[in-house]
Amino acid sequence: MATEAELVLAGLDPEQRLIAEHLRGPISVLAGAGTGKTRAITHRIAYGVRTGVYAPERVLAVTFTRKAAGELQGRLRALGADGVRAQTFHGAALSQLGHFWPDVIGGSAPQILPGKVAALSQTVEAAGMRLGGEALRDLAAEIEWRKTSMLSIDDYAARIDQRPIPTGLTPQQLIDLHTRYAGLLEERRQIDFEDVLVLLTGMLESEPRVALQVRERYRFFTVDEYQDVSPLQHALLKVWLGDRDDVCVVGDASQTIYSFAGASSSYLLRFGVEHPNARQVRLERNYRSVEPIVRMANRLMRDRPGALTLTAMRATQDPAPEVGAPLTSATPLAKRQARPGAKPPTQTGPAAPTFEWFASEGDEAQAVAGSIAAAIQTGTPASEIAVLYRTNAQSARFEDALRKRGVGVRVHGAQRFFERADVRQAVMLIRGEAKVAHDRPLFQIVSDALRAGGWSTRPPEGAAERDKWEALSSLLSLVDEMPPGAGIREFSEELLARQRTQHEPTVDAVTLSAVHAAKGLEWSLVHVAGLSEGQFPIVHAVDEASIDEERRLAYVAFTRARDMLRLSGVAGGTRANRQPSRFVGESGLI
């Protein structure tokens, strides 16, 4: 009769079982999309606890978001390993820093700055300068990148010619603001979130007795999403470990999509160099997606550094139903009910991903909304459908098109489009123009109003400013959707009507999400929209490294789909002539 520990291993595939049984020493898990990495590492920890190899309170599982940490904690609790700690890097570091600060430094730990933008605004004002909100956010992002890259201000200054400069600043002004910001925090006795990791790492390196206590508390480490680790996080993990090597790291180089924030897949791919006695296990059995989707994802990443070759398991275990068909007991949606009145579907094998090309963004949104409405009518729950896009600014037209068909939507991981301050300001400017008599073309009136709000014909370099530019550009593109002869008053009323649209409950709603926010999620039917050159890959991706990042982002988008993947792109209307995204061609669809 199987023991409780052996029962933990039941149901794992051979590679997952190898991981679960490797309880001591370093191990790296190269885990492709949909291969059950979370299952493997949680069962490994639970097996270690049940066999007595791990004392649960001495295990620390680290990941990158609170949501992911909560999911790990819940799974471990269900497996009988509820004493194990699952935290983010920052959560674990903040707890340790607060515990040791009074003894090592004296007094309470410094106050955590809730956000950089307000402090930077005061820093800029004290320097006699003025910057807009987007430039301030880009400045904050540069400070975060410098700290996570473990660069002093002098080191950063030496690399300034390789970094994007926020609009309105010279390189020397940017360096000066880094210095002034650091001085402001010191004066106020505050630290930001990156400082939490910096200070704890320094404390553990310089205070052997503190390091000894931490290492006595935590003996066994698991780090999820290791491809996203930054130099600063890697340094903290090293001092946590000391001269020990009981660490399991899990990741997928093909899903490294935060390089702009300092993440590097090199720590995952070179783990064996850092730990010569490490075991490496590859998880390449994809249990999420049907075979045509897996085949397409493999084509996209073929011959890329660290890419895994996925094998579709669902294609041989349970042919995916046609979109809209009731799912069988073997599928992840087994217990979901088709909506009343749904048409009986025809059971077929897995459908191949499709690509459609549209003349305008409006045409694309209407086609996507029509496809989704049909899928819902034939039984696919709205909650099992997603529309993914490259930038948050693309959400509004899909939101509007779906609501006009009576489909509930929720925008995931982003502020609603018409609640953005820059969009609200632009709408106010356009409505102001509607009160004045004009004899100019509608496009010219709207573009002039947007220029007054900070828009230009050329995209800026800073990330936050680009986000604003994309948002305002999408407002301008709505002009193409107006009926012939429509003037500024009609356009203003159309914007007001869109602005007044309220979100419906999210109980059974289609998810709209930028791809970055969709990482780690999955749906039965996924539409990836805007696959045009200049949109995805985004216009400012011009060198090989940035194109590779965009390709990995496309891979993440494509592998969110279980049963059906539909791709689309836009030529761009009357003022643009975009071509289909290179990623569609690399995937073998055109």
C-alpha to C-alpha distances, 50 to 1, 2, 23, 25, 43, nearest whole angstrom: 16, 13, 12, 18, 10
Instruction: Provide the token pair at 10.
Output: 């039941």
The answer on whether 32 is annotated among ligand-binding residues is yes
Q: 523 — alpha (psi -120 to 50), left (phi > 0) or beta?
A: beta
Nearest to 304 by CA among 567, 565, 32: 32
The answer on whether 256 is annotated among ligand-binding residues is no
Beta-carbon contacts of 89 under 8 Å, excluding residues fewer than 6 positions away, are 62, 64, 197, 233, 236
The answer on whether 462 is annotated among ligand-binding residues is no
Question: What is the DSSP-derived secondary structure letter of residue 353?
Answer: P
Contact present, 409 and 512 (Cβ < 8 Å): yes
Instruction: Tell me the C-alpha distance between 159 and 144, whole Å.
Output: 15
Which helix (H) or strand (E) element contains residue 60?
A: strand 59-63
The answer on whether 34 is annotated among ligand-binding residues is yes
List, as one string, the DSSP characters of 8-55.
HHTT--HHHHHHHH--SS-EEEEE-TTS-HHHHHHHHHHHHHHTTSS-
The answer on whether 453 is annotated among ligand-binding residues is no
Asked if residue 353 has a cis previous peptide bond (ω within 30° of 0), the answer is no
Question: What is the DSSP-derived secondary structure letter of residue 553?
Answer: H
Contact present, 64 and 228 (Cβ < 8 Å): yes
* Three-state DSSP state, 330: coil
Instruction: Provide the token pair at 427.
Output: 């709408």
Q: E-assigned strands of 264-372?
A: 279-283, 285-286, 311-312, 354-358
Which helix (H) or strand (E) element contains residue 77?
A: helix 66-78
Contact present, 324 and 344 (Cβ < 8 Å): no
The answer on whether 33 is annotated among ligand-binding residues is yes
Contact present, 143 and 176 (Cβ < 8 Å): no
Q: What are phi and psi of 8, to 5 degrees?
A: -65, -30
The answer on whether 98 is annotated among ligand-binding residues is no
Residue with tokens 């819902």: 376
Beta-carbon contacts of 500 under 8 Å, excluding residues fewer than 6 positions away, are none
Strand partners, 111: 190
Strand partners, 281: 29
The answer on whether 36 is annotated among ligand-binding residues is yes
Q: Is the dihedral of CA 402, 403, 409, 410 positive or negative?
A: positive
Q: E-assigned strands of 82-206?
A: 85-88, 111-112, 190-191
Instruction: Provide the token pair at 130.
Output: 């003025």
Instruction: Provide the token pair at 343.
Output: 């048409």
Q: For helices 193-206 and 133-148, what crossing angle results, to 10°?
A: 20
Beta-carbon contacts of 560 under 8 Å, excluding residues fewer than 6 positions away, are 386, 388, 518, 521, 522, 523, 526
Instruction: Tell me the C-alpha distance between 210 and 242, whole Å.
Output: 12
Residues of each annotated binding site for ATP:
31-38
Residues of each annotated binding site:
31-38
